[in-house]
A and B are shown apart, each in its own frame.
Chain A
Amino acid sequence: MNIQEFIESGILSVYVLGVASEEEQQQVEKMANLYPEIQEELSVLQAAMSEYVAQYEVPPPASLKNKVMKAVEVQESGRIPADYKKSTWYYGLAASIALLFGSMIANFYLYQEWKNSEEKIATLETQQSLMAQTQQKLESKYTKLTEELSIVQNPDFQLTYLVGLQETAPQSYAAVFWNEKSQTAYIYTSSLPKPPFGKQYQLWALVEKDETVWDAGVFDWGKFSPVKCFKKPEKFIITLEKEGGVPKAEGKAYAIGTVKS
């Protein structure tokens, strides 16, 4: 290649400006080695650029020199005496091992942190779902209570108190709400003894003069429960029967109440 052409192409300038491609860099270095004229031209351009750049000098803060010198000192204090200093692979290896250990410790720590976080999240999630369940239960209870209260306040429902019998349920009560118009009835008691496992209270309706008794159904203790009553009885009687009820009363009577006429 013509030397003059090479110089005039501007390739040396882009090299000095630090934007030569890798290929161009190699080319410039090769040519500069081969031809002193090119080397000379390159040196002059570098000097010119240096002068230009030197105009932008700004004194750095004094603390920066301390930092730089300290960094060098720290690095040198860890250096192995020159006799052993055959190559730098040793430092590379030592640094790699140190980094590996550092990384392992960091990983372990992060893993622990992560596990802790996972556990915390799991606990919180459980708590949250329990709370949601509780809230749901409370909500449905509240809705039910509201419904029950609307029954209590409804004048169409006739209230009959049943009183606990002396030998089976002294000082106990039950309340029957009966609506003649809609032929619906409800019972509530939590003061009668709680039925043992496998047993349930059953409500009977009685018209003495006709000597008729009919089954008003079993109900759950402690719950506002619907029962059946299709005509006006004179009395209500509660007996304790096997779970699910019986067609004809077999168990002991627990409470009795007279329906007001």
Chain B
Amino acid sequence: MEKEKTFFSESELIALLREKDQKAFSYLYDNYAPIVYGVALRILSSEELAQDVVQEAFLKVWNRIEQYEDSKGRLFTWVINIVRNAAIDKLRSKEYKTAQQKVSLKLKEVNKKYDDSTQQNSEYIGFKEVTMKLKEEHKKIIEMTYFQGYSQTEVAEILGIPLGTVKTRARNALQQLRSWLSENF
């Protein structure tokens, strides 16, 4: 399918989507799908599951566009959050759920498992070279929370750090991302 050549501004796009304009939706798909799919794939490590989640997420965007409030952030953030949540839900509904329950019992094992799975993830074919270089501890906290869906409490337990430190580390991680952005743009 050829990409729509027309350009929509974000506010135009949102207005058209609210009118159930399928052309606008097609444009949204073309522009957002690679990142949406990339996020789902990184979380689930399964093309099949990731594609299911992407389809589910786009349908949700189509059906719930009325609920989007620009005061809560950009459309892109909203869309990505939808797919991220759907993917995490799927992750929790499946095999990872068992591992989650064992967190407090077998911390070391889970920690190792986490290390292995992130290694697998980054070796996943199709991922572009990640140019944004982060400190290991910052990368880890983003991986565990955003991509693995561990709660703050679980992260604290697994890493053996106080709950307050999880927030501090998250903040430091995002500050690093931010500085990287200001340097490069």
* A residues lining the B interface (CB < 8 Å): 8-14, 16-19, 21, 29, 32-33, 39, 42-62, 64-69, 71-73, 75-76
Contacts and interface: CB of A to CB of B under 8 A. Distances in A.
B105 interface: no
Contact of B174 (A45, A57, A65, A72): A45
B99 interface: no
Interface stretch (B5-13, B20-28, B90-98, B109-117): B20-28
Given A47-B181, A66-B1, A76-B20, A56 B128 contact: yes
A209 to B, nearest CB: 98
Given A19-B152, A64-B33, A52 B132 contact: yes
Contacts of B173: 13
Which of the four size classes fits the interface of chain B? Answer: 35 or more
A241 B42 CA distance: 97
Contacts of A32: 71
B170 A17 contact: yes
Contacts of B166: 10, 14
Contacts of B84: 18
Given A16-B174, A56-B42, A64 B76 contact: no
Given A17-B145, A52-B132, A59 B34 contact: yes
B55 A19 contact: no
* Complex A-B, nearest 9 residue pairs according to Cβ-Cβ distance, in ascending order: A10-B167, A10-B171, A13-B170, A57-B34, A60-B37, A56-B38, A48-B177, A57-B38, A17-B145
Given A16-B174, A29-B72, A53-B35, A73 B22 contact: yes
Interface in B165-181: 166-171, 173-174, 177-178, 180-181
B68 interface: no
B97 to A, nearest CB: 17
- Tell me whether chain B's interface is mostly helix, strand or loop, or mixed: helix
B103 interface: no
A68 B59 contact: yes
Q: Which of B20, B126, B130, B174 has the most CB of A within 10 A?
A: B174
A107 B25 CA distance: 38
Interface in B17-59: 20, 22, 25-26, 29-30, 33-39, 41-42, 51, 54-55, 58-59
A69 B131 contact: no
Interface string B62-75: 11000000011110
Contact of B39 (A9, A33, A53, A72): A53
A43 B29 contact: no
A33 B73 CA distance: 12
B169 to A, nearest CB: 8
A26 to B, nearest CB: 12
A44 B178 CA distance: 8
B77 interface: yes
Given A47-B181, A64-B51, A14 B62 contact: no
Nearest to A28: B72
Q: Which of A11, A54, A71, A76 has the most CB of B within 10 A?
A: A54
Contact of B35 (A8, A12, A18, A57): A57
Given A55-B130, A72-B25, 20 more contacts: A9-B167, A13-B167, A13-B171, A14-B152, A17-B141, A17-B174, A19-B170, A48-B174, A48-B181, A50-B76, A52-B177, A53-B80, A56-B42, A57-B34, A57-B35, A60-B36, A66-B1, A68-B59, A72-B62, A73-B22
